[in-house]
Amino acid sequence: MALEDWTKMTYLNSENSPSLLTINDLEIMKQKGEKISCLTAYDASFSALIDTAGVDVILVGDSLGMVVQGHDTTLPVTISDMTYHSRCVTQARKRAFVIADLPFMTYTTPAVAAENAAQLMQVGGAQMVKLEGAHVEVVAFLVNLGVPVCAHLGLLPQSINQLGSYKVRGKDSVEAAKIIADAAQLQAAGASLLVLECVPAELAQEITAQLRIPVIGIGAGVDCDGQVLVIYDMLDISMGKRPRFSKNFMSDSSSIAEAIQAYHHAVKAAQFPSVEHSF
Ligand code: KIV
């Protein structure tokens, strides 16, 4: 669908209400040592449930390619898919800060990234866009245009055909040093948030301590400033095997709402993840 067609469609939460969390609130949480809770969502119903539970951040992840669309990887996800799902999510939340993923091949140059970030923010209603890898020039360009950026390092699912597997990254000293250097460069380029996926807990702890910006971990130990999980994994309804870094929050809950609340409280209390969910 063309951008003009999208913008003709009305949606409820087209302007940020004053009650929405902002990036400043997340920075203050880091400064105060308050953990940031985050879950993925792809539709209005889950968005509302997550928001009601008090979860701070909703990530409209391109993981939707696997858990919603049934692909083997995130690669087939398009900017139209992301815009559509972002819009579904942003319409239904009242407080949570919403980040949307720029999917594979949508940030090949700064100009391409800017056009696609505009879709996610102007039509999808996202407050921030996330992109995988150390694309320092793209990040600086977007930030200069007023687009808040979340960087993503460690395991990069969009690079699966180069990586060959979804295994932990940064285990050897050379790769660990590169991730540390990339994180510092992305912060210097203006990224406001960093997702660290599947890295040793010790490495994540070091990066989190070094950076001024909040670091959200997934399979990155308890010392990150916050945690994110794919909602279908923590509800144990994903099609594949639940990853080691995730936890089934449904098993001790009588409803989805209760499971989401249990996750939120476990993150806030630094009870999730524990050593068994870390590398
Ligand atoms: O797409 C996604 O859901 C993500 C998380 C796994 C961090 O990027």
Angle between helices 44-52 and 256-268 (to 10 degrees): 50
pTM: 0.94
Q: How far apart are CA 212 and CA 227, in angstroms?
A: 17
Mean pLDDT along residues 57-74: 98
Bridge partners, 196 (sequence order): 153, 217
Supply the pLDDT for residue 238. Answer: 87
Q: How far is the CA of 39 from the centre of ligand 1 (A)?
A: 9
For the segment 253-273, what is each residue's pLDDT rounded down to a tens digit? 999 999 999 999 999 999 999
For the chain, percent of residues with pLDDT exceeding 90:
91
- Euclidean distance between CA atoms 98 and 134, whole angstroms: 22
Residue count of the chain: 279
Q: What is the structure's pLDDT at 40?
A: 98
Query: Which candidate, 219, 220, 193, places its Cα nearest to that of 206?
Result: 220
Q: Which of 50, 57, 59 to probe ligand 1 with, by most ligand atoms within 8 A of CB?
A: 59
Which structure tokens are listed for 234?
């923590």
> What rounded mean pLDDT belongs to the chain?
94
Task: Measure 263 CA to ligand 1 centroid, in angstroms.
Answer: 17
3-state secondary structure of 227: strand
Per-residue pLDDT, 7: 40
Going by pLDDT thresholds of 50, 70 and 90, the confidence category of residue 1 is very low
Please tell me the distance between residue 15's alpha carbon and the centre of ligand 1 in angstroms: 25
Measured from the CA of 216, which atom of ligand 1 is nearest? 7
| Ligand 1 close to Cβ of residue 81 (< 6 A) | no
Would you say residue 4 has pLDDT above 50?
Answer: no
User: Ligand 1 within 6 A of 218 CB?
Assistant: yes
Domains and CATH numbers, the chain: 3-14+33-277 (3.20.20.60)
pLDDT tens figures, 130-168: 999 999 999 999 999 999 999 999 999 999 999 999 999
Q: What separation in Å is there between the alpha carbon of 230 and the centre of ligand 1?
A: 7
Over the stretch 81-135, which tens digit does the pLDDT of each residue have?
999 999 999 999 999 999 999 999 999 999 999 999 999 999 999 999 999 999 9
CA 130 to ligand 1: nearest atom: 8
Q: Which of 15, 115, 132, 197 is catalytic?
A: 197
pLDDT for position 274: 93
Mean pLDDT of 181-210: 98
* 197 given a catalytic annotation: yes
Question: Which candidate, 94, 12, 81, 89, places its Cα nearest to that of 51?
Answer: 94
**Which numbered atom of ligand 1 lies nearest the CA of 228?**
7
